[in-house]
């Protein structure tokens, strides 16, 4: 295995910016695709992303920046996608170059709405990338804390341990610890599901439930996550590991959590449309809720929390009444 692969990050948001920052500390050059050419010019001149994590200092001399997705796919051996799942398909529809031999890592915590697939499955089923060339980057880790260089942890999952280790070593730094896993499907579904549970935590907070209920909600959420993932991909995994439980907790409790913020607004009476408009950010859990609910219509895991969030967001049920029912279903 050669040791000088070229790596490119796809996306212009917080996660993409954080990953570029991490890689730049250990590499001489990092590719970075974003569709906004004016942002690219701003980064070259001012050494920071004007829209996301603007406090994070970037090093343009170490960056190969492009607004041409095909140029970047041709350039890189490892392709790290951090584009919000709601926009992933429309970006991939622009590509015309072959992905043969490319290593795809997803840092996307969501479902592709058009296909109802997690990102790894989408690349495998729709773009014919073999699972051995697909990996996942998951937390517990908020991009905002990476920008502040607070101690953070990442899990890099791939069937091929050598590929996982290669990327894990390039992401590791004095403030970022990494570990690897072979549970691609489980870690990616966990990253998707925890956004739904964070919305539930936010709704509960917005309705006025306290810390005692939040603790019970999170306890039930990790057990529900375990039941759901087991139905989809049965293998030996410890659901209490950081990639599952840790990522759930940070997303459910953190003030940086967009999904918790979105849920909090719903609990306070905002409509879905007005909450999204005011946030001006993507809450991945909104799309994930519909996909998880539909998947579970076939898999039949017991998922009272997902069902409750779905009822509030998509059936327009009264949040207060639905959460009152939920309190009788969890323990």
Tens of pLDDT, residue by residue over 39-51, are 999 999 999 999 9
Domains of the chain: 7-182 (3.40.50.720), 186-327 (1.10.1040.10)
pLDDT for residue 37 is more than 50: yes
| pTM of the complete model | 0.90
Q: What are phi and psi of 37, to 5 degrees?
A: -70, -30
- The predicted-structure confidence for 66-98, as pLDDT tens digits, reads as follows 999 999 999 999 999 999 888 999 999 999 999
Mean pLDDT value of segment 307-328: 97
Spatial separation of the C-alpha atoms in residues 118 and 284, rounded to whole Å: 12
Active site residues: 194
Residue with the bigger pLDDT between 277 and 16: it is 16
pLDDT above 80 (res 36)? yes
Task: Give dist(CA 43, CA 41) in Å, integer.
Answer: 5
Angle between helices 211-232 and 304-313 (to 10 degrees): 100
Q: What is the percent of the chain where pLDDT is above 70?
A: 99
Q: What is the pLDDT of residue 2?
A: 53
**pLDDT (mean) for 153-162:** 95
Nearest to 9 by CA among 33, 38, 28: 33
Confidence band of 1 (pLDDT split at 50, 70, 90): very low
Give the phi and the psi of residue 216 in degrees, each rounded to 5: -65, -40
């Amino acid at each position: 295995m050669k040791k000088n692969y070229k790596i490119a990050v796809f996306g212009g948001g917080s996660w993409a910016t954080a990953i570029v920052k991490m890689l730049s500390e250990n590499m001489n050059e990092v590719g970075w695709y974003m569709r906004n050419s004016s942002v690219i010019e701003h980064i070259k001149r001012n050494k920071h992303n004007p829209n996301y994590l603007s406090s994070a200092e970037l090093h343009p001399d170490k960056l190969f920046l492009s607004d041409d997705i095909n140029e970047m796919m041709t350039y890189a051996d490892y392709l790290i996608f951090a584009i919000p799942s709601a926009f992933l398909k429309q970006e991939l529809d622009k590509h015309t170059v072959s992905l043969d031999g490319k290593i795809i890592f997803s840092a996307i915590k969501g479902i592709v709405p058009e296909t109802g697939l997690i990102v790894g499955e989408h690349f495998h089923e729709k773009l014919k990338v073999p699972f051995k060339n697909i990996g996942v980057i998951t937390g517990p880790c908020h991009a905002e804390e990476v920008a502040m260089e607070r101690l953070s942890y990442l899990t890099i999952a791939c069937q091929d341990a050598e590929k996982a280790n290669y990327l894990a070593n390039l992401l590791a730094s004095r403030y970022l610890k990494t570990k690897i896993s072979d549970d691609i499907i489980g870690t990616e579904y966990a990253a998707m599901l925890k956004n739904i549970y964070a919305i539930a935590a936010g709704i509960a907070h917005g309705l006025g439930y306290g810390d005692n209920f939040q603790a019970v909600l999170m306890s039930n959420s990790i057990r529900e996550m375990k039941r759901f993932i087991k139905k989809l991909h049965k293998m030996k995994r410890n659901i209490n590991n950081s990639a599952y439980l840790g990522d759930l907790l940070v997303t459910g409790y953190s003030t940086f959590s967009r999904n918790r913020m979105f849920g909090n607004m719903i609990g306070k009476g905002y409509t879905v449309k007005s909450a999204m408009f005011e946030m001006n950010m993507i809450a991945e859990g909104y799309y994930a809720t519909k996909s998880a609910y539909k998947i579970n219509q076939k898999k039949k895991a017991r998922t009272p929390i997902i069902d409750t969030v779905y009822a509030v967001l998509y059936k327009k049920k009264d949040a207060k009444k639905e959460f009152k029912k939920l309190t009788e279903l969890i323990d």
